[in-house]
Structure 1
Amino acid sequence: MVNWIQVLRKHLVARLATNAGLRQHAVAVDDAGTVINLWLPDNDDAPDRKQKQRKKHQPVVLVHGFAGDGIMTWVLQVSALANRGYDVYVPDLVHFGGSTSPLPDRSVAFQARCLAAALRKLGVGTADVVGWSYGGFVAFELAAVHPDQVRSVVASGSTVKYTSAMRDDLLRRLGWAQ
């Protein structure tokens, strides 16, 4: 059975993101078939030469938490940031939202590597990275391993490091592990 509330919610969120000047895009980040789905400024692949030469603004990357997807988490912030002139990028982490990989790796390090590769392929310069919860772990890892891609990190509802003990406790509480 179709959950019409979910369908309408997803279309509303997509409309809000589009109205903020973003569009959805997928980036292959490795030879294994890992693909990062993200929302990005609509001018990035502009066919018009004048649009391509438009002055780039400071990029902001918004990284969602565990078991979410990017645009559903950040839709209310996207418009405010875009209206203030930021180039907003909202990825889905691998195995969440529209991002996929045939690889079994679920680590924070893998997420950061994939995000770094996607941003590099898109030509995103040094960005301010905002992470919520699990996204904060990914943001800190991205800054530690790829400092050339991160100007600053803002994390909320997160700690600096995600340990295996924290992961095991979370999986137990969710009923996904014993």
Structure 2
Amino acid sequence: MNAPHHNLDIFDHHQDPAVNDAAGLFTTMTDEQILERAMEILEERHKPGSEALKSPGDTRRYLRMRMANLQHEVFGALWLDNRHRVIEIEDLAAGTVDGAAVYPREVVKAALNANAAAVLFFHNHPSGCSEPSQADIALTRRLKEALGLVDIRVLDHLVVSGAEDAVSLAERGLM
């Protein structure tokens, strides 16, 4: 006989989420275990060679979980092939609480090294505000121009924070 299926809301702390353990018995999961499992699922969807990125929402959730608790800025890239399958996820620069030094020359070298056809850039704002700065917009345009010279498409640049949803520069027309 099948047990009833319950939808679990990982943000509802009044429920005790349960899963089957190795013996097939139900066991209660802690919030930390739920978040670890969610991260595993999102990492699986973004591993090298995985299917083309189909869900911007999945990518936003993945990056938010990956970067939300960082106390310093990190700038990175999802290098993609010509069918938008993930080649590699790479952190390109780490900085301080309010900035990271990103050099177009180094980004182009990394893109060529990954043999990328396209890229989705991302970085976090430890302040908790996902609003892109003028410097973020200017950097994205410089990178798009530099990578365009070697036929690598810049698809988007997501600004991520732990407190807000990620902001897409492409969706805002800021590319």
Q: Same fold (TM over 0.5)?
A: no
**TM-score of the two chains, using structure 1 as the length reference:** 0.36
**TM-score of the two chains, using structure 2 as the length reference:** 0.36
Higher relative contact order (CA 8 A, sep 6+): 1
